[in-house]
Structure 1
Amino acid sequence: MDVVDRVRGCLLGGAIGDALGAPIEFQSLREIRRDHGVEGISGYVATWRGKSGLITDDTQMTLFTVEGLLRARTGPGADGAPGGGAARVVDAVRQAYLRWLDTQDHHTPPPADRPHRSGWLREEGWLYSRRAPGNACLSGLHRPFPGPSPLGEPGPVNPGSKGCGTVMRSAPFGLIARHDPREAFEVAAACAQITHGHPTGYLAAGAFAAIIAHLAAGEALEPAVHSTLELLATYPAHDETTAALRAAVALAAGGGHSPEQVESLGGAWVAEEALAIGVYCALAELSVEDALLLSVNHSGDSDSTGSVCGNLLGALHGVAALPAAWLRPLEGRDTIDRLASELAG
């Protein structure tokens, strides 16, 4: 399996999981079973916004993360992967997130009258749609960002927030730094601080990026998680993320996978729980299709856990393993493919 296949698989798999979970994000398990049967949803729900395969802010922000990383890597002054040093990457990614913010504040692309507004992705009209964006992501981007704090200390923006908006957008850091999981970890954690300052929020993002880096380099999932746990333990304030990942590994090893087991890991509204649920479902000995369905059929933040699980499975197995019936109608597929090709280059 080549790098392009893993990168495409990761980004498309995340978008599929996101689109599966979006219609049931705010439903309880009881409500999901009432509306869709005891097994929950078995595919895209066409009644959500009147279409099938629609993505949410999770995939939107992931795509703008990719664009920011590409700009850091190829723009003037870039001097190495993932692009010109951590400060340069953080600035480029923040500028990309400001372009994403335009898609939430406007119905069509506004005039390019500020430096951050230049970029082809902001010209994609289909992205100009609010899909339940996270409050911390929105509020954080409206505040000045002086730069990230040392890892383990509260960040300068929303220092009490550890929402899952950090994790759901962070797979691309592992894809671009696939030969250096520590670099993927640290840059993802620094960029998570753009909007979320709680150490658990940004360390969980770093851990996710490190796992993706291991997978993109061809490693199996369980060793990737264990290696990431060893890396995570070298940073202060890692305890909540470490505990969540260990719980996910232990639960996956026990078998008998069910929505109730998913919910034992939390509701996924916070970063470490979203990461744990995505990892648990990806580790379960299930088909890609069944693992993705397990990752969304629960009472919590279904689109984020579906996105994380899909990123993991796509990076692990490549794009060919993704269900074709879910890939064909996926919103933004051509744009995702274009960004994946550029990122893998």
Structure 2
Amino acid sequence: MSAGGGGLWGRAEQQDFRSRVRGCLLGGAIGDALGAGVEFDTLEEIREQHGPHGITDYVPAYGRRGAVTDDTQMTLFTVDGLIRAHVRRDTGAWHPPTDVHAAYRRWYVTQKDWGPDERRAEDGWLARQEWLYARRAPGRACLSGLGDPVMGTVDRPKNPDSKGCGTVMRSAPFGLLVGWDPQLVFQLGVECAVQTHGHPTGRLAAGAFAVIVHALVRGDGLDTAVQKALALLAVHPGHEETTHALRQALGAVRQGLPGAERVEALGEGWTAEEALAIGVYCALVAQDIRHGLLLAVNHGGDSDSTGSVCGNLLGALHGETALPPGWLAELEGRATILELADDFAMEITQGPALHSPGGSVAGWLERYPRA
């Protein structure tokens, strides 16, 4: 496969890639929406309110069924930033962390403004979607890290003591860069994580998650994908918490039938390594996507983030057609997510047909400005 040229992609390859991109983004959003209504509840409270099996479908959150949270919002802006990075490469500028940071700053605006400012053409298409202008319990580190225009770097990270799951829950799109080497995918996840969370576990868990998604989209099984992430983690200082969490997830698979208590033994999901471990475990033991996602959200902890991580993984593994249609039908923002997923797939597989230093499709530059 090619990293950006359409000429090396066969039609079947393009269709498979698009299906996995759609599956990853929609699956993550479904998991996010399933967990949104029970995010702050204990397991006992979930079972008291929804029965002994916990939730089995969407429950109302933010005034509707199928509502997504900041997890999906930030994931979409990650995709937007990656497309913009590829478009801006025509100008000779190539530093994806800068473009992703600019995209996160556009997300930050959605958390404080009532709606899009049509005068800012440079914001592009995604930032003009009115439904995204909704505050859905964003993490404090994400808000504080993006509250000023200075970008955090590995040497000077924002919130250096924070390892919240806000890094992991938005990092699946880095894994969709299938033409990149895994080490570069890992590094990009790290460099974008430190824009809000500077603790080694926060950034390394994000890099590991991106690499797992990357391996899945390239055709590996989930166990193999996790092993690849562990191998990359091992050479990075401060990897121990993330490595331990992933090994715990792998070990839990062999400890008997999956259930909420086994999920809770991995943590609550508020920190990056715990959200990653829970999402990976639930995806590993999933009988199907429905089973895996319900397992990922029925626990006392950050249910929307663990559901989102699990959904990203299962969607990337199986593609969009494996997603439960009833959940897709009620998902908030489904049209936007589909459109963005298809734009990303088209950019990665056929970018040179859309833009080049010599000439570009005007509509594409309107959607994804070079500015």
Aligned to 2:195: 194
Shift of 1:107: 1.3
CA drift at 1:178? 5.2
1:174-226 per-position Cα deviation (integer Å, ceiling 9, x unaligned): 00245522111100110011111111101000000000000011111101101
Equivalent in 96, 114, 122 of residue 107 of structure 1: 114
| 1:117-154 Cα distance to aligned partner (Å, 9 max, x none) | 6221111000011000000000000135355225xxxx
Aligned to 2:323: 322
Query: How far apart in 2 are the matches of 1:285 and 1:76?
Result: 40
Q: Is 1:27 aligned with 2:41?
A: yes
The answer (yes or no) to whether the contact 1:176–1:343 under 8 Å persists in 2 is no
Q: Deviation at 1:77?
A: 3.7
| Equivalent residues of 1:168, 1:307 under 8 A apart | yes
What TM-score comes out, normalization by structure 1 length?
Answer: 0.93
Cα distance, 1:156 vs structure 2? 2.3
Map of 1:98 onto structure 2: 105
Structure 2 equivalent of residue 60 of structure 1: 73
1:71: which partner in 2? 84
Candidates 135, 138, 143, aligned match of 2:140: 135
2:258 counterpart residue number: 257
Shift of 1:285: 4.3
| Separation in structure 1 between the aligned mates of residue 76 and residue 151 of structure 2, nearest angstrom | 24
1:50 aligned to 2:55? Answer: no
Structure 1 unmatched runs, 5+: none
The AA in structure 2 aligned to 1:104 is Q
* Alignment of structure 1 residues 30-41 onto 2, 5 Å: 30-41=44-55
Contact (CA 8 Å) 1:281, 1:291: kept in 2 or not? yes
Aligned pairs (5 A) from 1:261-272: 261-272=262-273
For 2:119 and 2:159, the matched residues in 1 are separated by: 28
Change (3 A) 1:344 1:94: same
Aligned to 2:161, what secondary structure does the other structure show? coil
> C-alpha separation between the residues in 1 aligned to 2:174 and 2:119?
27
Asked if residue 123 in structure 1 is aligned to residue 128 in structure 2, the reply is: yes
* Residue 178 to residue 229, structure 1, CA distance change in 2 (3 Å): farther
CA distance in 1, matches of 2:152, 2:157: 8
Q: Measure how far apart 1:76 and its partner are.
A: 4.7
Q: Distance in 1 between matches of 2:180 and 2:127?
A: 30
Match of 2:298 in 1: 297
User: Which 4+ stretches in 1 moved above 4 angstroms?
Assistant: none
Contact 2:117 2:128 in 1 (8 A): no
Distance 1:264 1:122, change over 3 A: same
Matched, 1:338 2:339: yes
Residue 358 of structure 2: aligned partner: none
Structure (1 or 2) with the larger CA radius of gyration: 2
CA distances 1:231-282 after superposition (whole Å, capped 9, x unpaired): 1111111100000000001102223111111111111100000000000000
1:165 match: secondary structure: coil
5+ long unaligned stretches in structure 2: 1-14, 347-371
Percent of pairs with identical residues: 57
Aligned length: 332
1:14 pairs with one of 28, 35, 38: 28
Query: Any idea what the Cα deviations from partners look like across 1:278-325, whole Å, max 9, x if unmatched?
Result: 000000142210110000000010000000000000000011111111
The one-letter code of the counterpart of 2:100 is V
Alpha-carbon separation, structure 1, partners of 2:307 and 2:263: 12
